[in-house]
Amino acid sequence: MNCVFCEQVIGSEREIARNELACAFPTNMPIVAGHVLVVPLRCEAKFENLTEKEKLAIWELTEKMIGVLKRIFGAEGYNYAWNEGRNAGQSVPHFHLHILPRTIGDSGIYEYEPRKFLYRPGERATIPDEELAEISSLIREAL
């Protein structure tokens, strides 16, 4: 399987930080200035398939990036996201965490409403409490 991160980015001059199991680099399609990706060095598409050490390495680099992005870009907040699976919008088959440093007046969207991004547009009905309780019970039982 072809992976642009493995073939062109990891180990290149674009890489800005690295630890034993992960690295960070700026995305080539930034939403705001300083938009970076943190990825495991091992090519794995799904978060659930990463080892605990890889997950920890990703979080360690994420913390490092937060401090740097605050100093360099004056970040006052952050958006974090990943897409997993083609039907969820994942276009590169390598797990990658997006970190977007946010400042007042930047070019990103401020009024984040998940229904506008993740669900069908327009109005959606609120689920009745009884149905939510049933869903909660099913999930708790599966745990």
Which domains does the chain possess? Answer: 4-142 (3.30.428.10)
Q: What whole-number distance in Å separates Cα of residue 59 and Cα of residue 65?
A: 10
Q: Active site residue: 35, 94, 96, 98, which one? A: 96
Question: Does 50 have pLDDT greater than 90?
Answer: yes
Question: Does 132 have pLDDT greater than 60?
Answer: yes
For the stretch 6-21, pLDDT in tens is 999 999 999 999 999 9
Res 120: pLDDT:
47
Q: What whole-number distance in Å separates Cα of residue 117 and Cα of residue 124?
A: 13
Q: What whole-number distance in Å separates Cα of residue 107 and Cα of residue 112?
A: 13
Active site (annotated) includes residue 35:
no
CB–CB of 68/34 below 8 Å?
no
The DSSP call for residue 26 is: E
